Structure 1
Amino acid sequence: MHTKRKLAAVLGAVVAPVLAVSLPASSASAHGYISTPPSRQAQCAAGTVSCGDITYEPQSVEGPKGLTSCSGGNSRFSDLDDNSKGWAVTPVGSTTSFQWKLTARHATSTWQYFAGGQKIAEFNDNGAQPGATVTHQVNFGGLSGQQKVLAVWNVADTTNAFYACIDVNVGG
């Protein structure tokens, strides 16, 4: 009986590390958001606006591709969908730079920007892996005045995307 226990202990000691290394790693809980101009989640993280969980996870607004909500469909981050929260509005020109701060750099299919109910820009990265920051020059076309911009980072190798909303005043 004592020999069986020793054998089991030895086998466990040999098999456990192999299993630990061969099991798939869990996905990171951090990814990316727009830092400039300050997105709604950047404002939450900075304490500019009082928010819930997103205050501690501004980079985690992830959901299925094709959504149009600031929260990425995640109820934990529903504060981002509330247009009455007093979001700071950034004055911008007709062409503006949007900078993503990335905490996990996923292979990227496209970056999309929507305002005024239409897509105003798309950048195709063809599966490339971005650096720690990504900046896009976005032209608002004929749009002016206060706009809520929805920025979407479409990951190349999953069905998910990352979402950020930025409140701007074009030409203001």
Structure 2
Amino acid sequence: MPKRAGVTALGLGLVAGATLLGTPTASSHGYTDTPISRQKLCANKTVSNCGQIQWEPQSAEGLKGFPAAGPADGRICAAGNAQFAELDDPRGGTWPATRVNSGQSYAFRWQFTANHSTTDFKYYVTRNGWDPTKPLTRAALDPQPFLTVAYNGARPAMTTVHQGAMPSGKTGRHMILAVWTVNDTPMAFYSCSDVQF
């Protein structure tokens, strides 16, 4: 590894370590805006009482390895970060929801402030019968992602669109969890979007 790459990897490791300790970082990194995520709804002031995430919607970063590892149940939308707990608050099921169509093609879009070497992007959806008035848990999600986009270490563009199909057989209110797994750190980014099929 060239010396500069080693320094970059060390720097990313320090940022990851700071995040693990609960210290916010200024160099974090990405969120979904299509369908609009909870953190983007906070940043653009569509939703109020959002706390710190309104100023750094790109910072919902936690350990990777979801669903076997990663943030604890009930803390998934905030990526396990207590300072972003507002993202895990179901607000009685009243988060604004994007209208989508089951089984139809959709352009899932990410916005990045720092684009890292990437393992993949995975998109999960809640099971039929999910209760939107409760915080998100693994048991509330279909066990397999409905869309996986492999990057094999490549860096995504600063605005990245993944074309895929919305999951079939869904009606009513659901949540889509998008997980961006960083390739060269122990971290991933989590983005929750409320949708109405």
Give SS of 1:71's match: coil
The change in CA–CA distance for 1:83 and 1:138 in structure 2 (over 3 A counts) is farther
Contact 2:122 2:180 in 1 (8 A): yes
Aligned ranges for residues 23-102 of structure 1 at < 5 Å? 25=11, 27=15, 29-50=27-48, 51-65=50-64, 66=66, 67=70, 69-84=76-91, 86-94=94-102, 95=104, 96-102=106-112
What's the secondary structure of 2:39's corresponding residue? helix
User: Cα deviations across residues 20-73 of structure 1 (Å, max 9, x unaligned)?
Assistant: xx7954645220000122100000001111100000000010000123610000
Partner of residue 184, structure 2: 157
Q: Name the Cα RMSD after superposition.
A: 1.8
Q: Distance in 2 between matches of 1:34 and 1:77?
A: 16
Which secondary structure state, in structure 2, belongs to the residue aligned with residue 105 of structure 1? coil
Alignment map for 1:12-23 (pairs within 5 Å) = none
CA deviations on 1:86-142 (whole Å, 9 max, x unpaired) are: 311110122322100011010110101111212211111111011111111232122
Which secondary structure does the structure 2 equivalent of 1:158 belong to? coil
Equivalent residue for 1:168? Answer: 195
How far 1:159 sits from its partner (Å)? 1.0
TM-score by length of 1: 0.80
% identical aligned pairs: 44
SS at match of 1:42: helix
1:114 aligns with 2:124: yes
For the Cα contact (< 8 Å) 1:43–1:49, is it kept in 2? yes
Q: With structure 2 as the length reference, what TM-score do the two structures score?
A: 0.70
Query: 8 Å contact 1:32–1:162 — kept in the other structure?
Result: yes
Structure 1 residue runs of 5 or longer lacking an equivalent are 1-21
Q: Are residue 130 (structure 1) and residue 128 (structure 2) matched?
A: no
**Partners in 1 of 2:52 and 2:41 — Cα distance?**
13
Which structure has the greater CA radius of gyration?
Answer: 1
Q: Cα distance, 1:83 vs. partner?
A: 0.9
